[in-house]
Amino acid sequence: MQFILALFGALGARVNGAITRLGFASRFILAVLRLSGPSFVRFTLTIREIYFAGVMSLVIISVSGLFVGMVLGLQGYDILVRYASADAVGSMVALSLLRELGPVVAALLFASRAGSAITAEIGLMKTTEQLAAMEMMAVDPIARVVAPRFWGGVISMPILAAIFSIVGIFGGYLIAVILIGVDEGAFWSQMQAAVDLGSDVGNGFIKSFVFGIAVTWIAVFEGYDAPPTAEGVSGATTRTVVWSALAILGLDFILTALMFRGA
């Protein structure tokens, strides 16, 4: 009996803690949005963060995109050739990339490359009292440090996803057309017939934008909330990657259900 009570007590404390944290995270993102003025008035602040979040992720995004596209080309050809429709490999590669893999894989890579870096940077600035120093100079760290990083990430993410998809389609083209010998005209025309600008490209873009908000929100929050010690920062970095991955996949399901329901 006592054991069960203790169990419920522990569970309750856990849930309570999680909800409190969610509340703080929501209050935090509102503060970030409210204090976002300087990120746009002094756009150089944000440009710097776009550089670190976006440009620095370019290599890993392009290389992964190329490989994912090539794998899709191989697998797609292998399956489609059984139904005598190998020509459709172009549309399969493009649709999988634009609707799902582009935004999702790019966001996962972005979370582990840029998200963890953002968390570690803000966490270390907190640990070394740089945030406190800023506050003592009457400069709000949320406006000066957090908001530019948030917007840098949010702006970078859709661009990265688009680049991922393009490189992936090129990878699929390399495998299907150059290596296997699918007819080039059929590859592109089938793709163009199947892919719709609004519902495929547009919805993929919306997905990547939503993922960008989720990942950078988690990253800046974990960094800002990290306990000011070495273990605290490393734990926060891990949490950023784990929570980002869960958020991306969960949101992906919700968005897919909303966007591609029949019709």
**C-alpha 85, offset from chain centre:** 34
Within 55-84, the residues that bind other proteins by CB under 8 A are 55, 58
CB of 8 to other proteins, least distance (A): 25
Contact between 130 and other proteins per CB under 8 A: yes
Number of H helices, E strands in the chain: 13, 0
Site string for other proteins, 99-128 (x = CB under 8 A): ----------------------x--xx--x
Q: At what angle do helices 102-110 and 203-225 cross, to 10 degrees?
A: 20
- Give DSSP secondary structure letters for 120-134: HHHHHHHHTTHHHHH
DSSP string over 45-77: HHHHHHHHHTGGGHHHHHHHHHHHHHHHHHHHH
Contact map string, positions 178 to 207, toward other proteins, x by CB under 8 A: ----------x--xxx-xxxx-xx---x--
Query: Which is nearer to other proteins, 1 or 263 (by Cβ)?
Result: 263
48 binds other proteins (CB under 8 A): yes
CB of 250 vs other proteins, minimal distance in Å: 26
Amino acid occupying residue 251: L
Q: Taking the complex as a whole, how short is the minimal distance between the CB of residue 18 and other proteins, in angstroms?
A: 22
Supply the DSSP symbol for 229. S
Q: Which is nearer to other proteins, 88 or 245 (CB)?
A: 88
Determine the Cα–Cα distance for residues 232 and 222; give it in Å rounded to an integer: 10
DSSP at 262: -
Count of residues of this chain found to bind other proteins when the rule CB under 8 A is applied: 46
CA distances from 119 to 217, 219, 232 (A): 10, 5, 11
Which of 15, 22, 30, 139 is in the footprint of other proteins by CB under 8 A? 139
Q: Does 230 bind other proteins (CB under 8 A)?
A: no
Contact set with other proteins (CB under 8 A) = 44, 47-48, 50-51, 54-55, 58, 94, 98, 121, 124-125, 128-130, 132-139, 144, 156, 158-160, 162-163, 165-166, 169, 188, 191-193, 195-198, 200-201, 205, 263
